[in-house]
Structure 1
Amino acid sequence: MSFIRAVKSEAGLTYEDLALLGKASRATYQRAASGRTLPRLETVQEILTLCGRKNLVADSERATQLWRNARCALRGTQNLPLPRPQFIADEAGMSRALRDLHQWAGSPSAGAIEAMSGPHRVPHTTAHRIIQGYALPRSERVLKSFLLACAAPPNTWSAWSDAFDRVATARTRRQTVGRTYELVHRLHLFKAVRKLTAGTDHPL
């Protein structure tokens, strides 16, 4: 990536210097800057940190956007339609929409989602469960961090929040109905037992 090469050049560091200061090998850093393959986002972010950028936040945002664009081009997902959260009605719909958003964003790895999810990071284990359809965000804060990681346009966030509330309300209503059914069933069973045992010398 030319941006990474420029950052390294401005810092006056060699690949050997990066290897001494960082967590990866010289070959890993050189490969990340070569442009021949798409590096892990975590590696790109580490290079920025090692190079001591003054505007680290702005450079990190730019690098993330460049990485995301490259990832989408590599995956051929740059023309996929953006999910429409206003049509989400239940947990299955929310799960499908989040997975569609993940694909729209270029299908970043769970580790990349953790790295891109902002100050309230989504753990990679949680991200993995969401993108595999095994779980939903536990809170609206987790949802918003996931939206940030997947570069969902800010003007869609309120629709996602509304969808989250609808799903939570539907879940609560379903749980209430289930508990009510169980209580009514037990009451009818109790009455039936009393009717059968009425007038008998039951040992209980």
Structure 2
Amino acid sequence: MGRREKPLGDCDKPVRQLALWLRAVRQRAGLTYTQLAERTDYHPTTLQRAADGTRVPAAHVVGAYARACNASPDEAERLRRAASAPRIKDAPAEPGGLRIAASNDSLRQAMIRLREQAGQPSLRELERRAGPGRLPRSTLHDILQGRTAPTHDQLAAFLYACGVPARNLPVWTKAWKRAQIVDQPRAARPETAEAEADPADPGWELLRRVVSAQMRQRNPEQVTARFLAVHAGPGSAMLGPR
């Protein structure tokens, strides 16, 4: 049976489950990694690394491993997908300041903080996690550099790639919608931007009142300050004429 495998180190639970499953099916098949390699197109070291718990192996490696052990390729792929799903470990899903984000720049800053919380994955990795065609890394680079604003679909793909749970998406959507009102001249705003305003969000009424007067001077800082005052509660009374 060859040398005993090293114990699994500190790894995420789904990665551990995949590694333990791969080890178990190989042991049931009574194969060494050299014998396993003879049944596949992969080197013994590649197969051993697939079950060491330090990474999520490629789908084709996991499938070949399972078939060589007379185990279920479908179960192997299910475990591999669970292990590769994006997650944020020990980090809040809502960066500070998101609830008062009132411009594309403040939304961009929240996206940058979220990426940091997710472990600073590369643009290539975020593109892979988001799925084919959803978030090209060149586009994401421009968004994070402030050269362009994200569409709602691009924002949703970014949040998925960073592991934000579905229950936390509405606050991001509200921030995105507010940015559409603040950062565009009235004539250029999407027709649905104000129609989709959430009456439960006090920031919308504030934006309706100040955007036409203050954004002509392109002063999003004042808008954000007043938006924060509204969220403080009774301070909305401070919004009288200036």
TM-score where L is the length of structure 2: 0.51
Residue 167 of structure 1 and its aligned partner are, at CA, apart by 1.3
What amino acid sits opposite 2:125 in the alignment? A
Residue 93 of structure 1 is matched in structure 2 by: 106
Residue 5 of structure 1 is matched in structure 2 by: 19
Residue 59 of structure 1 and its aligned partner are, at CA, apart by 2.6
Taking every aligned residue pair, what percent have the same amino acid on both sides? 21
The answer to whether the Cα contact below 8 Å between 1:90 and 1:167 also exists between their aligned partners in 2 is yes
Structure 1 or 2: more helix by fraction: 1
**1:33 counterpart (38, 48, 51):** 51
Residue 5 of structure 1 and its aligned partner are, at CA, apart by 2.7
What amino acid sits opposite 1:54 in the alignment? D
Radius of gyration: which is bigger? 1
**1:16 counterpart (33, 37, 46):** 37
> What does residue range 34-113 of structure 1 map to in structure 2 within 5 Å?
34-35=52-53, 38-39=54-55, 43-45=57-59, 47-48=61-62, 50=64, 51=66, 53-55=73-75, 58-65=78-85, 68=87, 72=89, 78-79=90-91, 82-84=94-96, 85-113=98-126
Deviates more, 1:134-143 or 1:157-166: 134-143
Alpha-carbon separation, structure 1, partners of 2:91 and 2:59:
26
Alpha-carbon separation, structure 1, partners of 2:38 and 2:131:
28
Q: Secondary structure of the equivalent of 1:166?
A: helix
Alpha-carbon separation, structure 1, partners of 2:160 and 2:93:
18
What amino acid sits opposite 2:114 in the alignment? L
Render the CA deviation track for 1:21-56: whole Å, top value 9, x for unaligned: 6xxx76455445324xx43x5x45554455463257
What amino acid sits opposite 2:37 in the alignment? E
**CA RMSD between the two structures:** 4.0
Q: Which runs of 5+ in 1 are unaligned?
A: 73-77, 182-204
Alpha-carbon separation, structure 2, partners of 1:99 and 1:18:
46
The answer to whether the Cα contact below 8 Å between 1:18 and 1:47 also exists between their aligned partners in 2 is no
Residue 228 of structure 2 is matched in structure 1 by: none
TM-score where L is the length of structure 1: 0.58
Q: Determine whether 1:117 maps to 2:130.
A: yes
Alpha-carbon separation, structure 1, partners of 2:61 and 2:118:
23
What amino acid sits opposite 1:126 in the alignment? T
Q: Which runs of 5+ in 2 are unaligned?
A: 1-14, 67-71, 189-211, 218-242
Corresponding residue pairs, total: 163
Alpha-carbon separation, structure 2, partners of 1:18 and 1:139:
48
Residue 161 of structure 2 is matched in structure 1 by: 149
What amino acid sits opposite 1:109 in the alignment? S
Residue 153 of structure 1 and its aligned partner are, at CA, apart by 2.3
